[in-house]
DNA sequence: CAGTGAGCGAGCTTCCGCTTGACTT
């Protein structure tokens, strides 16, 4: 039986610390918070000083039972939860829930998991800091009040099951407002001049790319400029060299790791956290939910050794970074490899790729600045005042760039700086190969990726490292936001080219506005946001969290009483809630688009029971017509013409084989229905334009494909086994399951034994969790919690 | 691979922040 029981939050941490302390210490984990407000109702007695009603969380019952038993047997209990507001509260909840004795309970803290840090902590225990605990209670209760008062308002005024909260609602607001900025953006264009110039040097020929620093506003002006360059002389009049330096970024926090993993590896924020968790559990990296850029002394030392032996001392520079982010609590270290000596492993797994990113970033943070020489070459054009410029950048000493270079969201579209300039000198005459003036359009502000939204939230001090990924999932789960790819649209641009002393003019096409893995607000997200902004401006203010955080800090310092803080928030807030419930209209996002030319009635769009709809006629009218909006159409941007088009379907064509042909649009897009069978209309065809002849063609083509679908049927089996021709070639179908045919096998030659062998072989392969299986797990969990 | 869109009223939904597994047939 151990004399000492140490309780930490994470089991992986418990294992490590257990190794540092002797056999007199038993180290266990409590798995984070162990008590919380009950989920079933608000569980805060607002009449009685905001007394919270805590209960042991259902999934923590067993661990509390075990910890209670162990604590009874121990001489001393050491509460070693994290050194921040939430951690302090966890210690206090443990004290209460385990019924610990104040006399033999000690509170210790450390923010790095090293043996000296732990031993030092054991040497200097303290008492629980009740001011800090109260700051956490204020945080918890305020979030509960906001969430559990606002959400029911939405159920009544917008739609059941919606949610609102201090963090999620502001996250959605950012997306809604960005979307409006994009819609309102009016693009302008200008012309960018690029010249390719060549010269001879010691018998070799070189090419230099130069640009006009100014952008030319109009087409006419650009044409004049290009013409003026025709037959002009180009001379280098200045070569200026400027030294510059680049400094490595700080080691990773949760937020910067999510951003870089998104940019460099294409991970979603939750994917990053799952992979990082695995690395952490395997002991390969430090804790992955942190807002600190701090590195322990041992980490700095081992990075130094690594750099010196691999690259030489010139590449090393010890650095300690300081956190700039708002509201950081710094209970942990930065995210870094546990052992810098463990160099990245070969193999293209997600874990190896993320580990390599962390390893390189950490190492680079302890490396020397990169020294860069920038060169600006100025080129005069005879007969013109303006000069061309060629920019070059040469890395004189690579320093940290040897291992790591950070990516940025707003990186320039085209590389305007060539790495290495050819050997140029003042006075050189250059030959013009080609000069172009290309029309460039200004771009609207970018849509957020998941990681960019995390970055923004962190800047505003909203949310915590442990909640960034869940918040992003929540707003998608509520369907306030969708992450998707959207196709761009073609756009023409002009190019004026000067070549071989002649000027020509061409029009080219580019695709603009193509988006991939970007967050888009939905109609319901927009309606909810507008409703909340109108009625609860205080909560929706981007500075709300920062303001209450300041008060939480005052509570933590003992300068303010937590229940008084809550009272001054609650009284006006609850008045606004009841006022909104009594006075505000249902929010439907209704817009009046105009008048239907056919009927003369008004056309509206709004949110209905099943999503966005268009409506002809008033709500009170007996005869009104409805239609769903199509995929990609939004309440806010749909035009009258588009809405009118919606009512042109379904339409009836002529009869074929004595049956009607109907054109409609369903969940999967436009379709042809004939004899109660469905035929989808190809993407590039307009369902309003489809003729009877074309419809019959599509029907016959589908029949033919279906007829050729079956290659073989084995009638003697149950369920039926077939070899079929599918969209991606031949495959085997057994009941509802499908199986691949191994490459190089002729599907016509397969007999029943072959096919059964393929099916049996597939069963031996490790099964991946796919969409349906996951959904099933989630559903069963839900049923379980409902029963309770 | 549709068409629903209103209202009655049962019972339900909901927050943020800590931490990881998961009753198996």
Closest CA to A750 of A766, A778, A731: A731
Q: Which nucleotides of B are covered by protein (CB under 7 A)?
A: 1-6, 11-21, 23
- The CA–C1' separation of A616 and B7, in angstroms, is 21
Q: Is the CB of A31 under 7 A from strand B?
A: yes
Q: Is the CB of A164 under 7 A from strand B?
A: yes
Q: What is the pLDDT of residue A676?
A: 80
Q: What is the pLDDT of residue A497?
A: 98
Phi/psi of residue A152, each to 5°? -60, -30
Q: What is the pLDDT of residue A414?
A: 45
Q: How far apart are CA A220 and CA A595, in angstroms?
A: 42
Q: What is the pLDDT of residue A787?
A: 33
Q: Is the CB of A682 under 7 A from strand B?
A: no
Q: What is the pLDDT of residue A741?
A: 81
Exposed, middle or buried by CB within 10 Å (0-12, 13-18, 19+), for A254? buried
Q: What is the pLDDT of residue A417?
A: 53
Q: Residue A209's beta-bridge partner residues? A: A196
- Closest nucleotide to A37, Cα to C1': B15
- Helix locations, A625-724, DSSP H: 640-646, 692-707
Peptide bond into A727 cis (omega under 30): no
Q: How far apart are CA A235 and CA A314, in angstroms?
A: 40
Order the strands of the A677-680 sheet from edge to edge.
A651-652, A661-666, A669-674, A677-680
Q: What is the pLDDT of residue A418?
A: 55
Q: Is the CB of A728 under 7 A from strand B?
A: no
- The CA–C1' separation of A208 and B20, in angstroms, is 58
Q: Residue A722's beta-bridge partner residues? A: A713, A733
| Lookup: tokens for A759 | 């099916």
Q: Residue A739's beta-bridge partner residues? A: A732
Task: Decide the pairing of beta strands A76-79 and A105-107.
Answer: parallel
Q: Are A390 and A374 in contact (CB under 8 A)?
A: no
- The CA–C1' separation of A26 and B23, in angstroms, is 29
Q: What is the pLDDT of residue A758?
A: 80
Active-site positions of A?
A: 287
- Closest nucleotide to A463, Cα to C1': B16
Mean pLDDT in consecutive groups of 10 residues from the start of chain A, 788 residues:
91 94 95 96 96 96 97 97 96 97 94 90 96 98 98 95 97 98 97 96 91 97 97 96 96 98 96 97 96 95 97 97 86 95 93 97 98 95 96 93 82 52 89 98 97 98 97 96 93 98 97 96 96 97 98 97 98 96 92 92 92 91 87 91 89 84 80 84 81 86 79 77 76 78 79 81 54 36 34
Closest CA to A9 of A68, A72, A63, A74: A63
- Closest nucleotide to A611, Cα to C1': B5
- The CA–C1' separation of A289 and B17, in angstroms, is 12
């Amino acid at each position: 039986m151990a004399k000492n029981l140490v309780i930490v939050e994470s089991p992986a941490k418990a294992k490590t610390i257990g190794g540092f302390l002797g056999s007199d210490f038993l180290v266990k984990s409590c798995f984070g918070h162990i008590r919380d407000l009950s989920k079933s109702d608000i569980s805060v007695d607002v009449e009685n000083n905001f007394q919270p009603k805590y209960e042991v969380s259902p999934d923590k019952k067993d661990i509390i039972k075990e910890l209670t038993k162990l604590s009874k047997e121990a001489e001393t209990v050491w509460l070693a939860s994290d050194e921040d507001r939430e951690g302090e509260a966890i210690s206090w909840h443990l004290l209460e829930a385990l019924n610990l004795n104040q006399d033999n309970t000690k509170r210790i803290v450390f923010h790095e998991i090293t043996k000296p840090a732990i031993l030092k902590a054991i040497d200097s225990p303290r008492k629980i800091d009740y001011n800090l605990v109260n700051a956490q209670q204020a945080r918890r209760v305020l979030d509960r009040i906001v969430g559990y008062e606002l959400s029911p308002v939405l159920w009544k005024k917008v739609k059941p099951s919606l949610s609102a909260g201090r963090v999620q609602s502001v996250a959605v607001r950012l997306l809604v407002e960005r979307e409006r900025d994009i819609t309102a953006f009016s693009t302008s264009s200008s012309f960018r001049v690029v010249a390719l110039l060549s010269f001879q040097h010691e018998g070799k020929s070189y090419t230099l790319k130069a640009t006009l620093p100014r952008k030319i506003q109009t087409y006419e002006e650009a044409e004049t400029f290009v013409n003026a360059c025709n037959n002009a002389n180009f001379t280098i009049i200045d070569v200026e060299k400027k030294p510059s330096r680049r400094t490595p970024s700080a080691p990773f926090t949760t937020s910067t790791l999510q951003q870089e993993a998104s940019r460099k590896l294409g991970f979603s924020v939750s994917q990053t956290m799952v992979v990082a968790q695995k690395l952490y559990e395997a002991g390969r990296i430090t804790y992955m939910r942190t807002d600190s850029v701090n590195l322990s002394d041992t980490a700095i030392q081992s990075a130094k050794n690594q750099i010196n032996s691999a690259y030489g001392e010139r590449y090393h520079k010890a650095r300690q970074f300081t956190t700039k982010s708002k509201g950081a609590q710094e209970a942990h270290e930065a995210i870094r490899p546990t052992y810098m000596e463990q160099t990245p492993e070969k193999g293209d797994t997600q874990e190896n790729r993320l580990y390599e990113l962390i390893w390189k970033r950490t190492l680079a943070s302890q490396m020397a600045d990169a020294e860069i020489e920038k060169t600006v070459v100025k080129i005069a054009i005879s007969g013109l005042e303006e000069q061309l410029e060629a920019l070059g950048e040469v890395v004189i000493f690579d320093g940290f760039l040897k291992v790591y270079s950070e990516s940025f969201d707003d990186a320039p579209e085209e590389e305007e700086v060539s790495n290495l300039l050819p050997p140029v000198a003042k006075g050189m005459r250059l030959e013009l190969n080609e000069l172009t003036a290309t029309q460039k359009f200004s771009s609207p502000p970018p849509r957020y990726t998941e990681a960019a939204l995390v970055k923004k939230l962190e800047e505003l001090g909203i949310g915590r490292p442990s909640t960034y990924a869940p918040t992003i999932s929540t707003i998608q789960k509520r369907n306030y936001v969708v992450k998707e790819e959207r196709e761009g649209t073609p756009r023409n641009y002009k190019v004026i080219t000067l070549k071989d002393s002649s000027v020509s003019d061409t029009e080219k096409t580019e695709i603009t506005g193509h988006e991939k893995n970007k967050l888009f607000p939905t109609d319901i997200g927009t309606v909810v946001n507008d409703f909340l902004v109108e009625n609860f401006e205080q909560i929706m203010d981007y500075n709300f969290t920062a303001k209450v955080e300041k008060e939480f800090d005052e509570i933590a310092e003992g300068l303010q009483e937590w229940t008084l803080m809550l009272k001054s928030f609650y009284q006006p807030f609850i008045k606004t809630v009841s006022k909104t419930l009594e006075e505000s209209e249902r929010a439907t996002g209704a817009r009046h688009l105009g008048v239907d030319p056919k009927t003369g009635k008004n056309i509206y769009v709004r949110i209905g029971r099943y999503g966005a709809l268009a409506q002809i006629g008033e709500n009170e009218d007996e005869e009104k017509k409805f239609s769903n909006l199509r995929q990609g159409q939004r309440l806010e941007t749909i035009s009258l013409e588009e809405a009118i088009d919606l009512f042109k379907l379904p339409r009836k064509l002529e009869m074929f084989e004595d049956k009607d042909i109907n054109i409609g649009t369903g969940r999967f897009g436009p379709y042809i229905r004939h004899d109660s069978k469905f035929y989808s209309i190809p993407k590039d065809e307009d369902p309003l334009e489809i003729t009877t002849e074309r419809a019959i063609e599509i029907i016959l083509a589908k029949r033919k494909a279906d007829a050729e679908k079956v290659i073989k049927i084995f009638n003697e089996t149950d369920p039926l086994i077939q070899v079929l021709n599918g969209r991606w070639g031949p495959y085997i179908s057994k009941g509802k399951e499908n199986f691949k045919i191994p490459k190089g096998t002729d599907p016509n030659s397969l007999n029943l034994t072959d096919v059964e062998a393929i099916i049996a072989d597939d069963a031996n392969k490790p099964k991946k969790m796919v969409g349906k299986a996951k959904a099933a797990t989630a559903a069963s969990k839900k049923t379980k919690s409902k029963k309770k």
